[in-house]
């Protein structure tokens, strides 16, 4: 490799700008424009790639819509009612509040598709509930909220899967279905770890909700519980596309919060719009930057070069997947997940196709890797969120996360080695036929 070539200088510039604190999307755009200038190409190509990519991919619209739906749920009382319902189901078990934390993340996953929205939304309520009267340590409550929030983007709908579909042309509908079994496996593993911790540390048993209260709590949560049913039902019945379903989810969240629950004020609605716009703009800039940078990568023929190198190594599909897992797990410790999806993953896709690896299976493996990165130091963004919420040192949160991380790595190993765990449900729906 020529370490003074235009591409190498582009990588140096991108790294330097990112380390200086510039947003990664802008860093990619500036570094890519520098590459076009050094190679004598038309620098207007950067704008062309940005605009063509952003305006020709209808699926990108799903990202801000899912973010807005999650913000409305957290601003209104939908999340609070969901927690009450989960408490009815598992709150009476030993370590019941911890089990409620896992269960609410499972249900919330069917509504927002965002791990950050889950942790930031229900995280404050769960932290307050679990640490009241010293039931649980602040670090354990924070660690549990962080690791359970990871479930959200694995189950449908999923914002990372939308982004993966953008770079791979895989079916977003089948990707959503493929995440169901891995998400349920991870949920079961987390609940098993909580049950073990509850016995080992003698976690408290919460007072059972009286039978006469169960119908009222269930009825109060019913509109919220109906949201994933409507959302996924519309997608898989063919009534809507995933993007249209995202718009439906946002509209339904507004309807329930304002008309049925009457819990969303104008100020809260306005703040939800602002937060959604800022988050969407940040993700959109990163997607746009990646589209420009990926053009540079394509011009340099990096994917084909990597595929030739991999073929020279004569890797089997399983060996390739294991190598990808190791690379993504390492990168997840230091890079933001969306950046990994947009910059690194497209380089692996041609090799995966050449080895006969199903792109839907590959997508789920990639997304699980990315989710693990959200709770691995030093860059795990969920760790930063929960450190801020809990007000406890991150080292204690990381310590309490470790057993759950072990289970999550085991889940990753299972879906890597057994593709049928991922592809079983999509095949039932007609995938590959």
Backbone φ, ψ for residue 380 (5° rounding) = -55, 105
How does DSSP classify residue 183?
H
Distance CA 353, CA 170 (A): 12
- Answer yes or no: do 78 and 6 share one domain: no
433 is a domain residue: no
Same domain, 332 and 407: yes
CA 286 to chain CA centroid, nearest Å: 15
Same domain for 197 and 132: yes
pLDDT at 83: 74
Domain of 408, in residue numbers:
44-428
Check whether residue 263 and residue 165 sit in a common domain.
Answer: yes
Q: What is the pLDDT of residue 57?
A: 65
| Residues 199 and 237 reside in one and the same domain | yes
pLDDT tens-place string over residues 300-320: 777 667 667 776 777 889 999
pLDDT for the residue numbered 421: 93
Q: Are residues 27 and 76 in the same domain?
A: no
Q: Is residue 80 part of a domain?
A: yes
The reply to whether 423 falls in a domain is yes
94 SS3 class: strand
pTM (2 decimals)? 0.81
Does 307 lie in the same domain as 422?
Answer: yes
Q: Are 265 and 321 found together in one domain?
A: yes
Residue with tokens 């370490």: 3
- pLDDT of 35: 85
- pLDDT value at position 415? 95
- CA pair distance 38, 61, nearest whole angstrom: 34
Helix or strand run (H / E) with residue 103:
helix 96-109
User: Is position 265 within any domain?
Assistant: yes
Same domain, 5 and 98: no
Can you give the pLDDT at residue 379? 67
Whether 113 and 259 share a structural domain: yes
Residue 182 lies in a domain: yes
Q: What confidence score (pLDDT) does residue 285 get?
A: 78
Res 27: pLDDT:
84
- What is d(CA 297, CA 303) in angstroms, rounded to the nearest whole number? 8
340 and 358 in a common domain: yes
Place of tokens 């598709």: 113
Q: What is the structure's pLDDT at 182?
A: 94
Taking only the tens place, the pLDDT of each residue in 26-35 is 888 888 888 8
Is 301 within the bounds of a domain? yes
Average pLDDT, 10 consecutive residues per value, the chain (433 residues) = 76 82 81 86 78 67 78 75 78 80 77 66 73 84 89 84 86 89 93 91 78 82 81 78 81 87 85 83 76 78 70 82 89 74 83 90 94 80 79 86 93 94 91 74
Residue range 104-130, pLDDT digits in tens: 888 776 666 667 766 666 677 777 778
Domain tally, the chain: 2
Residues 29 and 131 in one domain: no
Q: Is 205 helix (H, G, I), strand (E, B) or coil?
A: strand
Interatomic CA distance for residues 139 and 161, integer angstroms:
30
340 is a domain residue: yes
Residue 141 lies in a domain: yes
Distance (Å, whole) CA 285 – CA 24:
9
Burial class (CB in 10 A: 0-12, 13-18, 19+), 99: buried
| Secondary-structure percent of the chain, ordered helix, strand, coil, rounded to 5 | 80, 0, 20
């Amino acid at each position: 490799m020529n370490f003074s070539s235009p591409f190498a200088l582009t990588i140096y510039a991108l790294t330097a700008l990112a380390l200086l604190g510039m947003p990664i999307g802008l860093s990619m755009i500036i570094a890519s424009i520098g590459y076009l200038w050094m190679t004598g190409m038309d620098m207007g190509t950067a704008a062309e790639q940005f605009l063509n990519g952003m305006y020709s991919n209808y699926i990108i619209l799903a990202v801000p819509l899912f973010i807005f739906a999650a913000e409305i749920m957290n601003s209104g009382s939908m999340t609070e009612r969901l927690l009450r319902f989960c408490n009815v189901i598992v709150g009476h078990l030993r370590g019941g509040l911890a089990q409620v934390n896992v269960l609410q993340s499972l249900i919330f996953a069917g509504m927002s598709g965002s791990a950050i929205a889950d942790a930031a939304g229900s995280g404050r309520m769960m932290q307050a509930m679990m640490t009241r009267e010293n039931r649980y340590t602040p670090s354990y409550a924070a660690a549990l909220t962080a690791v359970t929030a990871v479930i959200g983007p694995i189950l449908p709908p999923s914002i990372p899967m939308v982004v993966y579909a953008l770079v791979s042309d895989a079916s977003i509908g089948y990707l959503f279905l493929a995440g169901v079994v891995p998400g349920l496996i991870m949920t079961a593993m987390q609940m098993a770890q909580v049950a073990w911790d509850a016995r080992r540390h003698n976690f408290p048993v919460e007072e059972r909700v009286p039978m006469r209260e169960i119908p009222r709590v269930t009825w109060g949560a019913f509109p919220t519980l109906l949201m994933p049913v409507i959302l996924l039902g519309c997608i898989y019945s063919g009534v809507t596309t995933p993007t249209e379903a995202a718009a439906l989810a946002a509209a339904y969240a507004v309807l329930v919060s304002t008309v049925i629950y009457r819990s969303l004020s104008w100020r809260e609605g306005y703040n939800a719009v602002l937060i959604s716009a800022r988050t969407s703009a940040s993700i959109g800039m990163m997607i746009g930057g990646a589209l420009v940078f990926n053009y540079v990568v394509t011009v340099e023929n990096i994917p084909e070069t990597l595929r030739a190198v991999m073929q020279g190594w004569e890797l089997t599909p399983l060996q390739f997947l294991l190598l990808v897992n190791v690379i993504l797990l390492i990168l997840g410790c230091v890079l933001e997940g969306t950046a990994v999806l947009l910059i690194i993953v497209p380089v692996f896709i041609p090799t995966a196709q050449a080895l006969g690896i199903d792109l839907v299976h590959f997508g789920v493996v990639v997304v699980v890797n990315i989710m693990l990165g959200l709770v691995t130091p030093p860059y795990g963004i969920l760790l930063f969120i929960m450190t801020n919420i809990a007000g406890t040192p991150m080292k204690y949160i990381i310590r309490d996360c470790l057993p759950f991380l072990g289970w999550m790595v085991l889940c990753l190993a299972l879906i890597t080695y057994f593709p049928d765990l991922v592809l079983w449900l999509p095949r039932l729906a007609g995938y590959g036929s």
